[in-house]
Amino acid sequence: MKKIVSYLLVLLSTTGFAQIGGTNTFSFLDLPTAARSTALGGASAAIWDKDVNLGYANPALLNPNSSNQLSFNYTNFVADLNYGNFMYARQLKKHGTFGAGLQYFNYGKFDGRDEYNVEQGNFKAADYSLNLSFAKTINKDSTLSLGVALKTLYSHYDVYTSFGNAIDVGLTYHNKKQLVISLLAKNYGRQWKSFSENGPKETLPQNVVIGISKKVAKAPFRIIVQYDQLLKWDLTYVNPQTVTSDIDPFTNKPIVKTKKQIRNDKVKTGLDKFGRHLIIGTEVLIGKNIMIRVAYNFRKGKEMALPDVKKVNGLSLGFGFKVYKFNLDYAYSKYALTGNAHTIGITTNLGSFNKK
């Protein structure tokens, strides 16, 4: 039993959080870590401000205004799983902004038993990523920023371990009109050690993202659009519950569609494929210290939908506010009928505690 559970954990690591591929390892890297990012459905690759948490979404978003900030985020995930991260940034004079963080995913503690149901003790399972980031503006007017993050990855499921490295590279443009455009390649790397001793090396959850955000002039809100998986068009998968037959059940003959029906089917299929790449969200500023966030992740909504139950899977929302010297954030993300995630985050600037 102990070995069976361990193998299931390995399987969960490679397939549990996305319909893409199904053979990726370290798939916890696909999850948004910060409360702000979670509330925006993961669409935080193109937001330019002083929040150090944005460095996890895109290393190019680190900037001098996020220097000396420390953040912590914790998520109570589906089925009592949990994950979180720490992040710290520091400006290195005129050389650029350095960031360091630790991301983890905790599967919990398990009772180990052999095939005869004899207790074999307890074991734990977890994933870790140590992230080192660096960002620097690369043009004279400081509107273009380049960022790189190196991730050292480690997974431990009972006696099974895996080790790897990945890199994120981001390029972000921002201007005084608060238009932000980002191009990001994330999780490109290699698994150096697989879970099984002689097993094949598995791929990482690679992704190329384009994001755009715009603060509407003279209005207290920002519009955010993110396009995931730029290099992979078809993100659909075969759902056995929705497969339809091309055979008429009454005549036992093939169903012949008109040209209009075929054209409509192609348009519907194309829109479905396009929509699965999109995340759309907004941030609304209420006063000086309160922010409301709402987003919808179309792919998550499709993949988590049930045929007979109409729920708003893919919806996420949250808020942030400032108390004293701390920024507090909360996010709610809907995954399935009974599976939801709650994320809390706290961020502070350590320099604000220095005595004048």
Tell me, yes or no, whether 56 lies in a domain. yes
The pLDDT assigned to 292 comes to 97
Residue 182, pLDDT above cutoff 50: yes
**210 to each of 213, 226, 227, 336, how far by Cα in Å?**
11, 6, 5, 27
* Identity of the amino acid at 306: L
- Termini Cα distance of the chain: 61
Cα angle, residue 167 at apex, residues 162 and 169 outer, rounded to 5°: 160
* Minimum mean pLDDT range among 234-238, 247-251, 295-299: 247-251
Say how many domains are in the chain: 1
Gap between the Cα atoms of 47 and 58, Å rounded: 9
Tell me, yes or no, whether 326 lies in a domain. yes
- What backbone phi and psi angles, to 5 degrees, belong to 39? -65, -25
Tell me, yes or no, whether 227 lies in a domain. yes
> In CATH, what number is assigned to the domain containing residue 20?
2.40.160.60
* Cβ neighbours of residue 82 closer than 8 Å, sequence gap 6 or more: 74, 75, 76, 105, 106
- What backbone phi and psi angles, to 5 degrees, belong to 271? -65, -35
pLDDT band at 16 (very low <50, low <70, confident <90, very high): very low
Tell me, yes or no, whether 255 lies in a domain. no
pLDDT band at 260 (very low <50, low <70, confident <90, very high): confident
The pLDDT assigned to 2 comes to 42
Percent of the chain with pLDDT over 90: 62
Rg (CA), the chain: 22
The range of the structural domain enclosing residue 60 comes to: 2-235+279-353
More confident: 166 or 352: 166
Tell me, yes or no, whether 89 lies in a domain. yes
Gap between the Cα atoms of 302 and 208, Å rounded: 20
Tell me, yes or no, whether 250 lies in a domain. no
The pLDDT assigned to 334 comes to 85
The pLDDT assigned to 288 comes to 84
Tell me, yes or no, whether 151 lies in a domain. yes
Q: What is the mean pLDDT of the chain?
A: 87
The pLDDT assigned to 338 comes to 66
Tell me, yes or no, whether 258 lies in a domain. no
More confident: 355 or 219: 219
Smallest CA-to-CA distance from 37 within 341, 350, 348, 285 is with 341
pLDDT per residue as tens digits for the range 304-338: 877 666 667 889 999 999 999 999 999 999 887 66
The pLDDT assigned to 43 comes to 96
Smallest CA-to-CA distance from 221 within 294, 329, 321 is with 294
pLDDT per residue as tens digits for the range 36-74: 999 999 999 999 999 999 999 999 999 999 999 999 999
Residue 20, pLDDT above cutoff 90: no
Coil, helix or strand for 286?
A: strand
Question: Which token pair is 168?
Answer: 């994120």
Question: Which token pair is 19?
Answer: 């319909």
